[in-house]
Structure formats: structure tokens, C-alpha cells
A and B are shown apart, each in its own frame.
Chain A
């Protein structure tokens, strides 16, 4: 609010910077911790490290889009289910009409869901929290229904190589997907009017509107970007597993939102960095990988992961007031 207690500017900036950089400090800290404790179990093997990248890429790509959604002061809970739906749609369409139709179906799924989310949220005015929560069920139900809950195999080697399974030299194609999306996401958020307007909309919708920003349009677009990214992630899952399946991406929304928040994006809008979100996603991948190598059971992994995420987010959050 207008007159929050303002300690001297220097400490304020110092404090925010410290909090904003916690992701890098945490990342390095956790990496060193695992390197020391799990080094003998192969944590530092190049293969294992590239594996972390492969597993993290879809989360990272969705986290880039989520940065926009959160920075605009909105949220998208439907991404995990949309990823699953897109994987099913791509696989089934490919079966009928080959790779081009498959890609079209996957991407189209994302765009259609995004437009529906956008219309419901900005025209009817239902909060995105609700719209996308409901859409999560709709998308998941649709993918279960059209696929008869069965896995749909993808037989095109070309597709499977390009969307997730392939390698260029020793490097997985997924690494390049992640880097390209991160680069585009970063430049658009930092250096284009659209990105600036997203940050303005989330920082203060009233102020943005009074300044001439079409905030409804901005919200509409970030929801489309988010669904589009989820569809890409779903198609990458499909390529890596050579299968379209409704469970692909299930529950990813939690990891994605956590990745963005870990990276310094504010749940209250107005602040966000794409690089931070990528780092957040990698950190979550790191934690997952470490917990598996440590020999924890899946149930224990869930608990440990949840606890670590809450801890990290709690530290990285800016306190609203003292």
C-alpha cells in the first residue's frame, strides 16, 4: 500500500536482491550437497546430469509461460491436464493423418484451450484460478474419454526424435528446446512492449489501464501462451515416451508454479524473470533426481519434495510487511 514502512532504500534493495538471488544460491548449495553425498552413486555422471535436463525440459518450458501468467497477476492450473490432452490429441491425429496432422492437433489443442480459458476469464470475468481449475478436469476428462484411458503409440521416428527423444551429438534435443524457449521468453518479457505490459498489468491493473494498456487483452494472451506451452510440453512428453497418454504431465502444475515462484516470480503479479523460472525448474529436477538416487521410495520423495519446495519458496518470498 501507499505508506508501507520504508526502511532505508539501501537495505531494501539489498534485501530484495538477496531474496531474488536465493534461487542461484540454493541451486549451487543443493548441487554441492548432492555432489558430496551422492557423488559415489553417479550423481555427477554426465549422463545423469543430462538426464536431469531431459526430465526437466517440459517443466521448464511450462514454467517460462507460467512466468508470464503469474507476472500478469493470474494463474493457470490446467497446464498439466492440457499437456496430457495434447499428447493424446497429437498421437491419435498422427495415427490418422501422419506427422503434420499430429503436430497440428497437438498445437491446436493448446490454442483452443487457451482461447476458452481466456474467454471465460476475461469476457465472463471468472477468476483464472477457478476457470483453469475447472479446465483441468475438463481437459483430463476429454483425454481419458477420447483415448479410452489407453496409451496411444507414436510410430514416427522423426517425430520422436524431434519432439524429445533425439540427440545431437551427446546433447539431448530437449536441451535445445529448453534453451530456445528460454531465450525467446526472456527477450519477449524484458525487451518487448508485450512483456512490459504483462509486468505492468500484474503490478497494478488500475495503473496499467489508466496508462492505456489493454489489460484484458494482456490476460487473454498470457492464458493462450500458457496453454500453448503446455501443449508443446505434452508433445515433448509424447515424443520422449513414444506414446500419447492422459497421465503425461499429470500434477505438473505444482512443479511449474513452484519453479516460477522459486525463480523470483511473484504470485501477486508484477515481478518475474524467465531465467529464474528455468533455474527453478532445474532445481526441482535436481531435487527429484537426488531423492531418487538417495534411494527414497516414491511416497517419501513426494513428502521430501513438498517440504523442500515450501522451504525454498518461503525463503524466496518477499515479505509483504513486517
Chain B
């Protein structure tokens, strides 16, 4: 298509990057031709976002070279990367909600009249033209804050195009989009492709990748696995490359069958504002259920709804046989529901306060009388939780700041468990912690189930769900589409794998299921 004097719009060779002692990229190669849609694939922690950040100039590579449009890039800053024509579409991050669409599109790149003043009417005309040529219906005069998610996403892309981007990076662009908007987006990308723009497309949705991408590069554990045309890859082979031969370390956890007592939590045809839709679900005491789904499937929406953060629009929530209304987190806590949020450190602990203070923070009313805190109960509670969760701290009085990351997470858990909930919801329980702490936390989840609590684990890490859960529910577009017992993920021909092999088999099967439900509904 183009007669450019270079073969590759982007040529990253032998890229290495380490954060402290952890190597996140090792000798990675990424080559993208002009006029090509290139899928970048890999599981969590594969190094996708790091390599994109290097391309965007946010991180500087420790090793390797980076060529853009045939020129070697020596300076690694966001400005330089923007200057050479690289644009990244962030998830709704680069639009100022209080400015209009046209103002946003030309932000920091304003069109000017001959007298040097901003020329907004030309900007509106140009924006209108751009939207028209790409067959998108967005009003350039509208405030960006009033746009729907799909329109915002398309505006972001138009903004990048208006600034003459030659390399466009899209990171999970479709999660907030309706099916109709995704079609628009694809038509749009196809047009850009014809104009010679190189597009890097990151998504967990294989159906989209299969549809739109020409070429794919798969990363795993910071290494380059394969680059091949999509025509030569099948869904099965892609998943195999992503999952790899080793399941990272969680296969050693034993999961004895839990007693299934009475039903503790039941949802009957529950719908939220957008997601979930018509959710039917029951959880027994002593059971761990996992909720799997791709980004945007509505898995976290369940947690927010159950904890009273998002409103319920219809249906019933039944806790221990009684219909309840949960309108805010306080009501959820009163029903014995605890949510351990994804962003634990920010929402969960006061770093400067002691371990004991943090643990007792949410239960001061329970350990105090007429406003006076019982020192005895306070220290008993802390001592007991430190012991039961094996928190490694010099003393109960030490500031949480002095603890290691994994132990800080445990303090957060201790805090939530101090209120003695009957139902515990974990949202991404092991995000951002090391593998050792990961398996400790999963064991803790199992232990809580043994004590008779009902547990919901929401996670994007498949091996974590498989290690922790008795049942795994698969969601897509806000609907619950599969309810599978953990055993269904085992290889029917028993005894032919090691523990790690079994886990790997299960992970592949779960990944395949996730993609299937998106394709078939």
C-alpha cells in the first residue's frame, strides 16, 4: 500500500526491561508493518503493557533497539514518541470532560487564525469532516463528558488521527463498547489501515482478534513466543501459546470437597443498571464460587451490586433465607457481606497506622462501650488475627507501612474478616502480589470456606480461580452463561498429567470456555 522507505512502522528488537530484581521483558521482538493490524496477545503479566509503555516512551528499555518509521529512536520520552507519530488510545484517559469534542480533538494541537488566536470554528469543521469520513455520528460541539462510552472511544481515536498518528495503539478498546459500536470501530480501523496506519490491537477477546487482526505476536512471561499471520493460527493454538507449558505455581494447592450446607446467598433474576442482567445464582455455606469473564463482562458489577455500591434495578437478593434490600455498603455489612476490593492498598489500609488499629478500624463499635474502646478486646482481636492469618510483623503496634506487600494485603484481609462476615467477596484477591503470598491467600480462602462462609472470587487470573473455587461461573456481556463444577475442567482421562499438567489442562479449558461464550452467547 505505501511506498515508504521502510518495511516496518515499528521495529523493536531484543527489548529487555526489569523492575528491580523482576525481569518483565527478556529479548522481546515486535515488528509491525504500515497498514497492518497487529494483535498483541498474552496473559496477565506477560509483558504486554510494559512493551507498549516502552513504545509510548513511558519506560526506557534496559536493552534492545527501537525503530519507528525507519528511524532509530534514542530518546525515550512520551513527547518524543508522540512527535514521531505514535499515539495510544487510553481507556477514556485523554479526554477532558469539560471541553467539547472538537476542543478535545485539537487539544495541545490547536488550530489558529492568522492572528494567532484559536480558531474554533475551523476546528469544528475539521472534526465534523473527520467524523463524517469515518462514518461516525458524534457531535463536535458536545461536551466530552456527555458522550457515551462508545462515542468517547471513537473520539479518542479521531483525536489521535487528527494529530497525524502513524502508529496507533489500542489497549482493550472494545470493553466499553456495544456490539454496534464495535462494528463501527472495526470499519474505522479498516479505513485507517488502508491509509497505511500501523495499528497495534490488544484484547482478550479472541473473536475480535480473529476478525480484525492480520498478524499476531504472543508474549508469555516477558518473552516472545511467536509472531504469525492470523490465517495460520487457530483459537486453540493461540490459547496454547498464551497459557504455555507451565501453570505458574498454583497447582500444588489441594482442594478437598467442601460440605455444601444450606444456601447462604441467593440471587433471583437480579439486574443492575447495565450489568448484570437477570442473574440467577445460589451459594452454599462452605462453598467457594469463582466468577470468570473477560474484561467488561460484568464480573465486578456483581460485587458492586452485592455490596450496595451500584443499585439493583430488579430481582431479589436472599441472604440466609431472608429477602433483603442492600442499598449501601453499610446495609451489606449488616447482612454479613464483606467485599475485599481490588485496589486494596488504597481503599483498605491506613499505612501510617498500626497493624492493630487497621484491623480494628471497621469494628470499633464492637470492641467499645459507650464510645470507649476496650483496650483488652482491641489487643485480643489484633493478636488473634495476626496469628490466624500469619501476618509477619514485629508487633501489633508496628505501622503497616513497615510490612512487606503481601503482609499488608493480609492486614487488609484481617480488617475485613474482623467483622466476621458470612459472605466474603474477593475482587482480584491476588492482583499485584508475589506467587508465594498468592498461594497463601488462596489457602486462606479455602480455610474461610471450611469455617462455613460462602465465598465469591472474582478474578481475571484463571489459574487462581481453578485453584480456589468449587464452582466457576462464566459471564459475558452481563449474563451468566455457564455454571461449571471444578471437576468439569479436569482431563477426563485421569492420571496422565502431573499436577502442573492438570492445572494447565484446566486453564486451557477455562480459557476456551471464556472465548466460546463470547462467540456463541
The yes or no answer to A41 lying at the interface (CB within 8 A) is no
Whether the Cβ atoms of A196 and B110 lie closer than 8 Å is yes
Size of the chain B interface, CB-CB below 8 angstroms? 28
Q: A269 contacts which chain B residues (CB < 8 A)?
A: 98
Binds B, one of A25-33, A79-87, A199-207, A231-239: A199-207
Using known A-B contacts A212-B79, A212-B82, determine if residue A207 contacts B94 with beta carbons closer than 8 Å: yes
Give the most central of B78, B146, B159: most A CB within 10 Å: B146
Whether the Cβ atoms of B107 and A211 lie closer than 8 Å is yes
The yes or no answer to A208 lying at the interface (CB within 8 A) is yes
Tell which of B97, B110, B112, B274 touches A203, judged by Cβ atoms closer than 8 Å. B97
Whether the Cβ atoms of A196 and B95 lie closer than 8 Å is no
Q: How far is the CA of A191 from the CA of B113 in the complex (A)?
A: 10
Q: How far is the CA of A322 from the CA of B342 in the complex (A)?
A: 27
The yes or no answer to A6 lying at the interface (CB within 8 A) is yes
Min C-beta distance of B49 to chain A, whole Å: 15
List the B residue with the shortest CB-CB distance to A16: B143
Task: Return the CB mask of A209-221 against B: 1 if under 8 Å, else 0.
Answer: 0111100000000
Q: B373 contacts which chain A residues (CB < 8 A)?
A: none
Tell which of B90, B103, B118, B149 touches A192, judged by Cβ atoms closer than 8 Å. B118
Whether the Cβ atoms of A200 and B99 lie closer than 8 Å is yes
Tell which of A2, A3, A195, A200 touches B96, judged by Cβ atoms closer than 8 Å. A200
Whether the Cβ atoms of B99 and A199 lie closer than 8 Å is yes
List the A residue with the shortest CB-CB distance to B79: A212
Which residues of chain A from 110 to 160 have any CB-CB distance to chain B below 8 Å in the complex? Answer: none
Which residues of chain B from 237 to 288 have any CB-CB distance to chain A below 8 Å in the complex? Answer: 273-274
List the A residue with the shortest CB-CB distance to B119: A191
Whether the Cβ atoms of A270 and B96 lie closer than 8 Å is yes
Min C-beta distance of B95 to chain A, whole Å: 6
Q: How far is the CA of A210 from the CA of B109 in the complex (A)?
A: 13
Q: B1 contacts which chain A residues (CB < 8 A)?
A: none
Q: B494 contacts which chain A residues (CB < 8 A)?
A: none
Min C-beta distance of B253 to chain A, whole Å: 36
Q: How far is the CA of A276 from the CA of B114 in the complex (A)?
A: 28
Min C-beta distance of A236 to chain B, whole Å: 28
Q: A210 contacts which chain B residues (CB < 8 A)?
A: 90, 93-94
Whether the Cβ atoms of A202 and B98 lie closer than 8 Å is yes
3 closest A-B pairs by beta carbon, nearest first, are A270-B98, A203-B98, A203-B96
Whether the Cβ atoms of A207 and B118 lie closer than 8 Å is no
Q: A266 contacts which chain B residues (CB < 8 A)?
A: 98
List the A residue with the shortest CB-CB distance to B110: A193
The yes or no answer to A49 lying at the interface (CB within 8 A) is no
The yes or no answer to A271 lying at the interface (CB within 8 A) is yes
The yes or no answer to A163 lying at the interface (CB within 8 A) is no
Between A and B, 22 residue pairs with Cβ closer than 8 Å are A3-B274, A191-B117, A192-B117, A193-B108, A193-B112, A195-B118, A196-B103, A196-B107, A200-B108, A202-B98, A203-B99, A207-B94, A207-B96, A207-B104, A210-B93, A210-B94, A211-B94, A211-B108, A213-B107, A269-B98, A270-B98, A271-B98
The yes or no answer to A197 lying at the interface (CB within 8 A) is yes
Whether the Cβ atoms of B108 and A197 lie closer than 8 Å is yes
The yes or no answer to B92 lying at the interface (CB within 8 A) is yes
Task: Return the CB mask of A249-269 against B: 1 if under 8 Å, else 0.
Answer: 000000000000000001001
Q: A206 contacts which chain B residues (CB < 8 A)?
A: 93
Min C-beta distance of A112 to chain B, whole Å: 29
